Amino acid sequence: MKVIYYNPVDENGTCVIRSISKALKKDYNFVKKELGINYNDESVFEGYLFKNGFIIDNNFKGKLLKDISLKDINIVFAHINDWYHMMCVIDDIIYDKSNFNDLKDMKVIKIYKLKRR
């Protein structure tokens, strides 16, 4: 797994918007507007993901990011200590503004997989 730098808008605390917009190939500001001001609330972003064709895959729960391999389009929700983070992973490539050393030891909370259409 490797990381490709992806940060369409220089805003802090917007990993949810960044990840979803990348996975769905939608404009960042469009996704931000659709999610609303509570975009970091799990019930808000999870409902949006379900509405847009994602399902939950719990096979990786509790595993370290560095130890898994993900094909297709996925959203990974993970944490390390008190840092909770969401990132888009497409065919084993993480698209994020963090580097791999910052992310590799994060524990997976949930994986959202985009259903094939």
| pLDDT tens per residue across span 50-79 | 999 999 999 999 999 999 988 888 999 999
Give the pLDDT band of residue 15 (cuts 50, 70, 90): very high
Whole-number pLDDT of residue 101: 87
What value, to the nearest 5°, has the Cα angle with vertex 23 and ends 89 and 98?
Answer: 50
In the chain, DSSP finds a helix count (H) and a strand count (E) of 4, 6
Whole-number pLDDT of residue 113: 95
Whole-number pLDDT of residue 31: 97
Mean pLDDT over the full length of the chain: 93
Q: What is the tally of structural domains in the chain?
A: 1
Work out the average pLDDT over 21-27.
96
Containing domain of residue 13, as a range?
2-114
Selection from 45, 58, 89, 53 nearest residue 71 by Cα: 89
Q: What is the DSSP letter of 8?
A: S
Distance CA(57)–CA(68), nearest Å, equals 13
pTM: 0.92
